Structure 1
Amino acid sequence: MNTVILHKLSLLPEEPGCYLMKSREGEIIYVGKAKKLKNRVRSYFTGSHDEKTTQLVGEIFDLEWIVTATNTEALVLEMNLIKQYRPKYNIMLKDDKSYPFIKITDERHPQLILTREAGRDKGKYFGPFPNARAAAETKKVLDRLYPLRRCPESSTRPCLYYQLGLCIGTCAREVGEEEYKEQIRKIVHFFHGGYRAVLKDMKKEMLQAAKKLDFEKAEQLKEQIMQIEVTMEDQNIVLNDPVSRDIFGFAVQDGFMCVHVFYMRDGRIIEREVIFRPIGSKEPKRAFLDFLQHFYGESGNTLPKEMLIPAAVGKEAAEICVSARIVQPKRGQKKEMVQLATKNARIALEEKVSLMELETV
């Protein structure tokens, strides 16, 4: 184990995230996830391992990590990074295994389905969801609350699902366009925060069932509530739209600036970049604006449709530097993405400064 890795192991945070193992040539040879980065990454360098892991550890020359807000985020980010880099030691995930989405199809009478393929069609996708069982249970609840078509479009006889109250009934009656759109609006609202009200109602229903000694129904509702909570655990690394975004965070320490960029394409973070720059006594906001100008100008990086930057940076000044749609989110998921980029910039800069101090000893 080289001294750089040894020192980096002492800097690992006790937070969830992904770690990237690199070879001497700088190739990413393994991507993993952890509930606690410190414990998981250190475990590779202690104790005995199977042949594959021993071979992997023997090739590790450097390592990086990305902190996430939750373990669910780490799971999804791991999947995206593996698909992007195709590390040779990620054999188990090389078969294009992916997590399920819940999709509203793009049809005259859309359906609600589970799928592992997020296409570029006009359907509405929600996810991905690392817990497939929880996603399936969540869909069952949506089928019960806001039923859509469950049978072939050409059906002219009432289907079994309609008789069970799980199909809106295009097979049995004329369903108005507005009625159908309202069901879809309710499903979309569920994924955009409306699930909290649904959970509240389900908890009331569970208590009422228990009071009536209907323990089977109460237990079923309890299980569904739990699975919805698992499914809807906040994910700041996924947005359900196709907009290309670059998400920036930065930190300054001891005359150095670190900029952390998340590259989001088709609603998913596919890559990140960490850039260090000496800035001397330059004011941090000015240093960041100069960086942006260089990043998209002299460096030739492709402008995305949207850039997310910290609110502390002047939007007008940033727009002068870069001719792109600049967003400084004040709330919600986009704000949390910028905060995550900023947090990773701070962690990376602290690591860099610590390593520089080690070199001067």
Structure 2
Amino acid sequence: MQEPSVEPFNAQEFIRNLTHQPGVYRMYDVNGEVIYVGKAKDLKKRVSSYFRKQLDSVKTQALVSQINRIDVTVTNTEVEALILENSFIKSHLPRYNVLLRDDKSYPYIFISAHEHPRIAYHRGARREKGEYFGPFPNGGAVRESLRLVQKLFPVRQCDDSYYKARSRPCLQHQLQRCLAPCVGIADEQEYQEQVRLAKLFLKGRNSDVITTLVGKMENASMALEFEKAARYRDQITALRRIQEQNSVSGNQHELDAIALYRESGFTCVHLLTVRQNAVQGSRSYFPKVPQHSSDEEIMESFLVQYYLNQNHGERIPAEILVPSLKLATDELTTQLRSALGVNCKVIQPKRGERAQYLALAGKNAMNAVQSKLGLQSTMDTRLRALAKVLPDSKTIERMECFDISHTMGEATVASCVVFDSQGPRKADYRRYNITDITPGDDYAAMAQALEKRYKNAIEKENVPDLLLIDGGKGQLTQAETYFKDWPQPPILLGVAKGESRRPGLETLIFGYSRKTIQLPADHSGLHLIQFIRDEAHRFAITGHRQRRAKARKTSSLESIPAVGAKRRQNLLKYLGGLQQVKSASIEQLANVPGISRSLAETIYYALRDE
């Protein structure tokens, strides 16, 4: 049980820094007990709905009044969030999950003990003989699982009354979703085997199901029963696709996945706990890290301190997954085994299900750091620290940062990100496509970006107090030149990357005076500069990649005047493709329907002037 929080829960502060990604949220009371678990397609929107001024449900009001802390676990998809929600509900049994739903018992998937078992939705007392799988968080989850099972395993889902009254196969048999045992078409042994595989699937033993199906496919192929082999092949393909899409449940019985993420002075180690083939919990740790500590040193220290601490109350797992760092995993394994007296192993997975768990832990570590970076208290501290470094004493209310991104001069994009005392102002972010410059000329690109951004800035009264330029003296010179005639130009600050481009070694260059300083790696003002610079870099790269991808998907013919969609289609169809069009002679182009001699010449020379 965690220590009760001293400070009251600040819902607005928490929500402001929440991600819009899918995931699961857990609400805790003052005693550290989980009182509610929920899933969301958009965590920020869903959690925000609990803290509106007007709440219709009295029960929801009661829940909100008891919230002392909220934890979130980010997932890749909403389906993964649903599975993880179910896992958390079963492990924590939060009292408000039932009360705030519909006051009914949890639904299950039921497989009857009938001669020809059926798979069905079940809620209520378990009177009928058979196996029950669950509980599931809601009825929608059960119906979604039933649809999936029906696609994978041709077992009947109809009621017994419907089953007994059949005289000919129903539509489900024609769709190959049922073997039609009701009219004696199904092979008895095959039907029972499909029921057994469905049970294994519902227990999470997907690998066992695939192994069995592979054997059956090979046997059917050897017996020249190719239609049956094809059915098994389709089942295997569908199952493998499900395994690839799901990162929160699988066939790994017991392990911990530990990921590390560092940004702008924050270091997060995220621990993902997997037990009984599913994620049972996760937690972010923010260790105090000395300057210039390597990732390897941080990870080794965490492993030793966490697992040798007998107070953490967790059973040591058989496998401990860590990132691909330069770690002496064999030595760490030996040390942990000797110290703890258990048979555990430190592993660095490269692919497969284990790598998926580790990637999910990394995603949560990144989300935790970014939430920390956006906290108001952190912004205030960093802004005050930065203000002390700047030569001008005026209040810093608006900060902007530029960055340029391109691939060897191709598809150059400039980004401008905006921050204020509250953090990022994403509505004010802008990207600028840079054109008509020498490819790769970052100085010209910066000059053009400044012109596009600030040509009407004074009239609109959105001039920044501080302008950061990601780059050295050359990029800073472009900003100095642009603002030289302004009566009140912004403070200019160039951010030059240090040796080996490692964070913490940046050199700050003040505009006009060219004074340079290097702040300590743990300086709060430097952390703010790094945060803004990294955000500008991320925003620029994203825009560049989108523009580059669009350019590479666009046909060269689209830029030629008088060549519309119909003529492009004729050129590609009659000449056999874009490469053939590019290599065709003027005579060959002129022979294409709709292409005159003069237009053929235009196309010919246009394609060679690219």
TM-score w.r.t. the length of structure 2 is 0.41
Could you tell me which residue of structure 1 aligns to residue 289 of structure 2?
Answer: 279
- 1:312 is aligned with what amino acid? L
- 2:17 is aligned with what amino acid? L
Is residue 2:347 matched to residue 1:336?
A: no
Q: Supply the distance in 2 between the matched residues of 1:4 and 1:352 (Cα, whole angstroms).
A: 14
- 1:282 is aligned with what amino acid? S
SS at match of 1:66: strand
Q: Which runs of 4+ in 1 moved over 6 A?
A: 93-96, 125-130
- 2:322 is aligned with what amino acid? I
Question: In the TM superposition, what are the counterparts of 1:232-251 in structure 2 within 5 Å?
Answer: 232=242, 234-240=245-251, 243-251=253-261
Of residues 27-36 and 345-354 in structure 1, the stretch that sits farther from structure 2 once superposed is 345-354
Question: In the TM superposition, what are the counterparts of 1:49-88 in structure 2 within 5 Å?
Answer: 49=55, 50-88=57-95
Question: In the TM superposition, what are the counterparts of 1:264-275 in structure 2 within 5 Å?
Answer: 264-275=274-285
2:323 corresponds, among 302, 310, 325, to: 310
1:352 corresponds, among 357, 372, 385, to: 372
**Conserved? CA contact 1:239–1:268, under 8 Å:** yes
Distance 1:9 1:275, change over 3 A: same
**Conserved? CA contact 1:102–1:135, under 8 Å:** no
Q: Supply the distance in 2 between the matched residues of 1:190 and 1:126 (Cα, whole angstroms).
A: 20
Could you tell me which residue of structure 2 aligns to residue 322 of structure 1?
Answer: 336
Could you tell me which residue of structure 2 aligns to residue 33 of structure 1?
Answer: 39
**Conserved? CA contact 2:273–2:279, under 8 Å:** yes
Tell me, which stretches of 5 or more residues in structure 1 are unaligned?
117-122, 146-158, 196-224
Question: In the TM superposition, what are the counterparts of 1:1-361 in structure 2 within 5 Å?
Answer: 4-49=10-55, 50-90=57-97, 91=99, 97=106, 100=109, 131-144=141-154, 161=181, 164-166=184-186, 168-170=187-189, 232=242, 234-240=245-251, 243-280=253-290, 281-299=292-310, 301-314=314-327, 315-323=329-337, 324-355=344-375, 357=378, 360=381
Q: Supply the distance in 2 between the matched residues of 1:327 and 1:101 (Cα, whole angstroms).
A: 38
Q: Supply the distance in 2 between the matched residues of 1:312 and 1:99 (Cα, whole angstroms).
A: 43
Residue 269 (structure 1) shift:
1.4
Distance 1:60 1:143, change over 3 A: closer
Q: Supply the distance in 2 between the matched residues of 1:256 and 1:55 (Cα, whole angstroms).
A: 36
**Conserved? CA contact 1:79–1:98, under 8 Å:** no
- 1:310 is aligned with what amino acid? P
- 2:359 is aligned with what amino acid? Q
The one-character-per-residue Cα deviations of 1:131-186 (angstroms, maximum 9, x if unpaired) are: 433433444444449xxxxxxxxxxxxx97185443x334xxxx9xxxx79x969x
**Conserved? CA contact 2:324–2:348, under 8 Å:** yes
SS at match of 1:322: helix
SS at match of 2:293: coil
The one-character-per-residue Cα deviations of 1:189-224 (angstroms, maximum 9, x if unpaired) are: 7965999xxxxxxxxxxxxxxxxxxxxxxxxxxxxx
SS at match of 1:30: strand
Distance 1:26 1:135, change over 3 A: closer
Q: Supply the distance in 1 between the matched residues of 2:207 and 2:20 (Cα, whole angstroms).
A: 34
**Conserved? CA contact 2:268–2:287, under 8 Å:** yes
**Conserved? CA contact 2:107–2:135, under 8 Å:** no
Residue 297 (structure 1) shift:
1.3
Could you tell me which residue of structure 1 aligns to residue 232 of structure 2?
Answer: none
**Conserved? CA contact 1:16–1:35, under 8 Å:** yes
**Conserved? CA contact 1:279–1:287, under 8 Å:** yes
Who wins on radius of gyration, i.e. which is larger?
A: 2
Distance 1:141 1:284, change over 3 A: closer
SS at match of 1:43: helix
SS at match of 1:295: helix
Percent of aligned pairs with the same amino acid: 26
**Conserved? CA contact 2:111–2:117, under 8 Å:** no
Q: Supply the distance in 2 between the matched residues of 1:61 and 1:73 (Cα, whole angstroms).
A: 26
TM-score w.r.t. the length of structure 1 is 0.66
SS at match of 1:78: helix
Of residues 11-20 and 268-277 in structure 1, the stretch that sits farther from structure 2 once superposed is 268-277
**Conserved? CA contact 2:9–2:68, under 8 Å:** no
**Conserved? CA contact 1:144–1:165, under 8 Å:** no
Residue 286 (structure 1) shift:
1.2
Q: Supply the distance in 2 between the matched residues of 1:71 and 1:27 (Cα, whole angstroms).
A: 25
Q: Supply the distance in 1 between the matched residues of 2:35 and 2:379 (Cα, whole angstroms).
A: 26
**Conserved? CA contact 1:84–1:271, under 8 Å:** no
**Conserved? CA contact 2:330–2:346, under 8 Å:** no
**Conserved? CA contact 2:259–2:270, under 8 Å:** yes
Specify which structure has the bigger relative contact order, considering alpha-carbon pairs within 8 angstroms and separated by 6 or more residues: 1
SS at match of 2:280: strand
SS at match of 1:14: coil
**Conserved? CA contact 2:37–2:89, under 8 Å:** yes
**Conserved? CA contact 2:250–2:277, under 8 Å:** yes
Distance 1:138 1:2, change over 3 A: closer
Distance 1:96 1:78, change over 3 A: farther
Q: Supply the distance in 1 between the matched residues of 2:336 and 2:107 (Cα, whole angstroms).
A: 36
- 1:311 is aligned with what amino acid? S
Q: Supply the distance in 2 between the matched residues of 1:160 and 1:296 (Cα, whole angstroms).
A: 54
Q: Supply the distance in 2 between the matched residues of 1:244 and 1:265 (Cα, whole angstroms).
A: 5
